[in-house]
Structure formats: C-alpha cells, structure tokens
Structure 1
C-alpha cells in the first residue's frame, strides 16, 4: 500500500540529529497508518502498541529538542511557543488515542490524520524556524534579532505546508473514493487549526512581554529592548542611558497594609512613571517594586532630567479611608553607556550600583552611576 507520510528533503532542517529523529517519527506514524489503512477492522492491541511506541518516542524527541534550543540560547519567545506546541500535540494525541475498551476505525483514522497533519506543519513551520534561528545565532546575531527576522519567513512556510497537506489528502482518496467528499472538510480543518495556532502564538508573544499587574513591558521585554538599543548605540556611536528605580520602604507597605494595597500602589506608580517620562523613553517593570526606564539616544544629562521629573511627581498614596499607606518616595540610579562597558549587563549594573548609593543616602533621590 502507499506510504501515508512520504519523507523528502523538504522536511530537512539541516540539524542532523533532529532530522534523524524526524525520520524516525515519520516511520512510526507510517507504522500506525498501515495498521489503520490496511483493514476496516482495527487490531486494538497492535494499534495500542504502535501508538504507545510513537508517543514514547515523541516525549523523548521533544525533551531533546527543547534541551537543544536552550543550549543554543534561542529567544525565549520562540522557546515558549515551541514548548506550547509540543504540549498541545502531546495532550491532543493522548485524548485522541484513548482506547478504553477498544478503538474504532474512525477514531484511529482521526488520530493518524492528526499526527500526519501536525507533524508536517510542525516540521515545516516551527522546527524550520528553530533551525534558521540557530544558524543565525551561530553567525553572530542575537537571539532576539534572529527571532524577529525569522518572522518574515511565515509566507515562505505556507506553500510547502499546503503542498504536504495536499499530498496527504490524495493518499487518503486513493484508499477509498467515498472519502473524497471529506477532503475539503479536512482541508478547512487544517487551515482553521493553523490559524488558531498562529493566534495562540501571537497571544503567547503578547503575554510573554507584558507584566500582568501593571500592564507595563516586563523584564523579558526590557532585556530584549536594551540589547537591541545597546547594539544600535555601539554601531552609531549614539548615547544610551537607563534609570533603575525602586520604591522606598515598600516592604513596610505590604507588611502593614497587605499585598492588595501594595499591588494598587505599584499600578499607581507605573502610571506615575509613564506620565513623567518622555515619549521616547521605555518604562518597564523588572519585578517587585523595581522598575527600569530605558532612555534611547539620551546622554546622562537627559536621563538625569527625567529622573528629576519623576522625583518631582512624588505624591503620597492613600487608602480608601484616607490613611496614608506610602509617602511616594523612590530612589533612582542613573547610568549611561561608557567605553569600558562590554555588555548591556554592565550598564544595568552601573545603574543598580547608583541606585544602591541613593538608597544608602536615605532614598527619595537620584544618584549617578
């Protein structure tokens, strides 16, 4: 009988270990497909054995692939999207493959259809993206740049994916002419599934760079943006400064008034910072009561003026009953890129050291690093 999933060079990622594992996955899926397509009566024991062998290998492959991505230092956005795709596949395959007292022919074919469709999409889409980003990082790009530039390959991935799915539908049609009417329905299902995955990836991207409490960009975004602006500053010989901010005596607020009040203060502080900075400045929450303001193309003097404006906007925070919960004091460390700094982390460290000095001197002030 015809092979359900035909492996060819279109599916090669250029990563020998991954390509070898993908070929093994295809072999296991074809073994499962042969059981399903060879007869209307499904041998449930043989099917369960083939299915479990596939799922065991999938688990091992996914773990190895994720370890490889971590080792290659891929952008966290891709890592999270890739892991989410792996998790979704595993969960759906388990649900589809639950046999109970036996598995019907329709359920078995549904599982095989899902496996083939998903693997074709995943190899041609997410795994090819992973391989491209790894090669880009090896050539000297930062993980963020490699991720962002690879987004432009989306259209290029669409055509081979549709071709792979079209081949699948033709093979199914050869087995039973009665299934021809189902091809359009399956085609639409795949397109909808692909669109859902793309929307889910977009949502994951938004969630991965936004702080849930304040809706400000989070630490992940801050580090990524700073890395890009650092490269721009070095390449164009333009200034770059940052402010590291910390709410004074904030722990006492949580201890005295509770975390709900503390959260309300952090939201108010986030608004205060956004109102005080310039339109070109980027306000991020790093975590807890610590914030970062990135000042692109701004020397220390400009950043210091921003810090002074933030300090001047100080206002106490009151509870609903009028009780003052926090006096609004914050400490700020100011730092600008210097010639002896080798990495963005050096700039953050200088700002953090300056923040420590401001704290040690009593807080409610800015200090230069």
Structure 2
C-alpha cells in the first residue's frame, strides 16, 4: 500500500479502535493508531499519514484541538481530517469545520458510509498530491527556463572573445545612460579606444595571436575600469568605455590609467614579448552635443587626433581642437597636391 493510503485512527476507546481497524484493514488501508490527541499529533508530524480519523471527545487533547494543532503545525503536508462524533447539531458541526476538519461521520457509523467518506478523502489527497507534483515540475521547468534565458541574454549581450559587453549591449546601455543624463542633468562621458598597429600583429603572428591580444585587452579593461563604468568591444580592435555620472576630466583619468596599464603589460606570443599600446579619445555630453551619436562621434574625433599625434596617448574632445586638426590635415593634403603638380 502506498504512503498516500496510510490512515491514522485516534480514539481513547479500544473497542472503537478495533472496529475501525477491522473495517479499514479489510478495505486495504495501512493504519497507524493513537489513543489521544497528543500522541496523534506526534504521529502526524513523524509519519505523515494522508488521512486522520479522530474521535471528538478524548483526554489530554480532544479531536477539535487536534484538528487545530495539525492545521497550525509547520512542515505538515496535506492531511485530510475526519471527525467521529455523536454531536449532530449544526453548531457543533460548524465548530468542527472551523477547527480544520474536512469531513465528519456521525456515531454510530455505518461501515459503507465510513468507507465511502474515506475513499472520497483519499481522492482529495491524491488530487492535491498530483497537483503538488505538477506545480513542482512547473517550478523546475521555470527555473531551468530562467537559467537558459539568462544564458541566452548573456550570449546576446556579451562579446564571445573578450567577455566584454558587445556592440548591441553597448548601444542599449548608452541609450539608458544618455536618457538618465538628460533627465537629471548629470554628466556622461565615454572613451573610444583603438589598439595601435593591431593589423601588424595579425599579419606578423597570425590571427590566433591577435585573439590573444584582444582577450588580454578585455581582461585589462575589466580590471582597470571603475565600478559603474561599462567596458565594451565594438568590433575588431575597437573598444568603448561608457562612464555615466562622469565629467570629461574623470574620463580622461580613467583613460590614462588604462593606457599606462596596457603599455606596461607585455604579451608573450611564440616566445616573444610584444609591447601593446592603445590610443584613446574622451568626450563628454555638452550643450553642443545633442545626441548619443554625437557623443560617440566626438570621442571618435578625439581618438583620431590621438592617432594623428603619434598614438599611445589620450586626447580629449575639443571642438576647436578637432577643427584645427581637420584644418591641418586639409592643409597637408593641399601641400601634397601642390608639390605633385610642381613635380
């Protein structure tokens, strides 16, 4: 007989215990027995019977008190409670149900009615147990789906090679930071980063070596960016650090720390140590920068200036400085064309 068919009978009358035992055992049920409510409560806690048939009037703890104790006990699963009583007036029946009883059988009881009510109680117990199993399965499935969704979200937002946020995540977070900056009039800065001469690494040592460099770059960015900043890989050798609540000066300090640490950590490839450097451009939201795209463009112009000035340096976005840079480049092109025409 399964655990769901175990019944506890509680009565201080040995004759009633034997009578109940006779009927229930003949119907195929497994029994536990107690002569008072206190012992019955201990058996409910220890053995977990699915159904309890208890007399109303008993010493130490009567049937009503037992019902209340079972319903308030911690760690007790579903227990179907049937009270045997000679009290048939409605007030006493209501009292039994309010104490936690699920059903009652009037004394003297009829064997057929008793077994029918027990069988009905067992159907309730089994239905509840089946529902509990289904809920547990659903909970397990939901937990597995949550873990899977977290993994999918990580895959969708993380650069596989470096472990940094990818371009998609970078743009989503930049949108959030930008909106917060506008709403609360807080500063926001960003740092555009480019690995210097990365193409030469790939051409000389192969793309596997290039991947090693990119992975180390990801580790250094993770280690030396501040808590609250977001380091991202935009693609290839291009990286971005978003610095919410930061001025351009705070961004410059972060950028310079990154530059120094990247330069000071050589990478060993094929038995050779490579010195890797980076160029960085820093920009902050200003009155002239009206969108997040303008902010990125401003940082990109500062990065271009850092490359133009010889790489391995930090340049801060300056509209006038960028204008001078463009003017100097145009002048250089004009001189080159003039020289060519003269030749």
CA contact (8 A) 1:265 1:317 kept: no
What's the offset of the Cα at 1:257? 0.7
The yes-or-no answer on 1:315 pairing with 2:258 is no
- Structure 1, 247-256 or 199-208: larger mean CA deviation: 199-208
Report the equivalent of 1:227. 175
What's the offset of the Cα at 1:350? 0.9
What's the offset of the Cα at 1:191? 5.0
Report the equivalent of 1:359. 307
Within the candidate set 238, 262, 265, 2:210 is matched to: 262
Report the equivalent of 1:244. 192
CA contact (8 A) 2:267 2:276 kept: no
Q: What secondary structure sits across from 1:211 in the alignment?
A: coil
Question: RMSD between aligned alpha carbons?
Answer: 2.5
Write out per-residue CA displacement over residues 135-178 of structure 1, whole angstroms, 9 at most, x where no aligned residue: xxxxxxxxxxxxxxxxxxxxxxxxxxxxxxxxxxxxxxxxxxxx
CA contact (8 A) 2:279 2:314 kept: yes
Q: What secondary structure sits across from 1:301 in the alignment?
A: helix
Q: What secondary structure sits across from 1:342 in the alignment?
A: coil
What's the offset of the Cα at 1:339? 1.5
Report the equivalent of 1:105. none
Aligned equivalents of 2:168, 2:311: Cα separation in 1: 27
Return the structure number with greater relative CO, CA threshold 8 A, min gap 6. Answer: 1
What's the offset of the Cα at 1:265? 0.9
Aligned equivalents of 1:252, 1:333: Cα separation in 2: 22
Give the structure with the larger helix fraction: 1
What's the offset of the Cα at 1:320? 4.8
| CA distance 1:195–1:277, change in 2 (3 Å) | closer
The yes-or-no answer on 1:282 pairing with 2:230 is yes
Q: How many aligned residue pairs are there?
A: 190
Aligned equivalents of 1:343, 1:205: Cα separation in 2: 27
Please say which structure displays the higher CA radius of gyration: 2
| CA distance 1:338–1:317, change in 2 (3 Å) | same
What's the offset of the Cα at 1:208? 1.5
| CA distance 1:350–1:196, change in 2 (3 Å) | same
What's the offset of the Cα at 1:337? 0.4
Q: What secondary structure sits across from 1:319 in the alignment?
A: strand
| CA distance 1:322–1:364, change in 2 (3 Å) | same
Report the equivalent of 1:298. 246
Write out per-residue CA displacement over residues 196-226 of structure 1, whole angstroms, 9 at most, x where no aligned residue: 3333222211221221111112222211111
Aligned equivalents of 1:328, 1:315: Cα separation in 2: 8
| CA distance 1:192–1:341, change in 2 (3 Å) | same
Q: Which aligned pairs between 1:67-146 and structure 2 lie closer than 5 A?
A: none
CA contact (8 A) 1:254 1:261 kept: yes
| CA distance 1:201–1:318, change in 2 (3 Å) | closer
What's the offset of the Cα at 1:324? 3.1
Report the equivalent of 2:14. none
The yes-or-no answer on 1:202 pairing with 2:150 is yes
Report the equivalent of 2:273. 324
- Structure 1, unaligned runs of 5 or more: 1-179
CA contact (8 A) 1:244 1:352 kept: yes
What's the offset of the Cα at 1:312? 1.9
Give the structure with the larger strand fraction: 2
Within the candidate set 214, 220, 224, 1:272 is matched to: 220
- Structure 2, unaligned runs of 5 or more: 1-126, 318-343
Write out per-residue CA displacement over residues 38-69 of structure 1, whole angstroms, 9 at most, x where no aligned residue: xxxxxxxxxxxxxxxxxxxxxxxxxxxxxxxx
